[in-house]
Amino acid sequence: MSNNADVCLALFFDAPLLSFGGECKFDHRDTLGFPSRGAVTGLVAAALGIDRGDRFGLERLSRLRMSSIAFLNHPGMLLEDYHTIGGGYPSGSRQIPTDAAGKSRGTVLTERCYMANGKFAALLSGDAAFLEEIGTALRDPVWGGWIGRKHCIPATPVFQGIYPSEEEALAKLKSLAGNSALRIWQECSPEDPRAVLYSDIPLDFARREFRWRAVTEC
């Protein structure tokens, strides 16, 4: 972990199902094994009332630094769901999905991946006033929050406080996971030889536009 003195906001993710983005090619929707920037941004943006297409609001969130945490005693289990949209509805129903031209696509079949029954966490660091604003919103959100997808509802309060150091924030999060050992992924320069790139910084959720982020495991 870094040695800077930034204020840190602690987020704890505990749910029967969690989804952390990852590669989404065609009809296969993957998940990472640790919290993605997209999942965390979506949760925080909903609490703040930032619209899916609000590029300025999402860009403001992208300025915060983020560390992702997985607890080794609660790694979760990868689960794949065979998912359908539109099956069984009568012809002309508004619930049957359409393509970009508005034509009916019929039933859409996808495979969606989740981490089941795991415990994860994230730290956000940056401007203290903005983190306080986020903390207030998470306690009294504008819109309901979930962890990656709408049916991934938290079983434990997500917001776990704001701390003057990463060490204090980590101590709190570890206590929630039974003092489990952990793995930490931090954002880094793309030139770092250990860096792995993920396209998970949201620019516009409505248009599904993301930019690349470099991450390394500490």
pLDDT digits (tens, 9 = 90+) for 106-147: 666 778 889 999 999 999 999 999 999 999 999 999 998 899
pLDDT at 97: 59
Span 9-82+113-217: which CATH code? 3.30.70.2660
* The most confident of 19-28, 90-99, 148-157, by mean pLDDT: 148-157
Q: How far apart are CA 158 and CA 139, in angstroms?
A: 9
Mean pLDDT of 18-37: 80
Sorted by where each begins, the domain ranges of the chain are 9-82+113-217
Q: What local confidence, expressed as pLDDT, does residue 80 receive?
A: 87
pTM for the predicted model, two decimal places: 0.84
Share the mean pLDDT of the chain.
88
Residues with Cβ within 8 Å of residue 183, at least 6 apart in sequence: 34, 69, 70, 72, 217
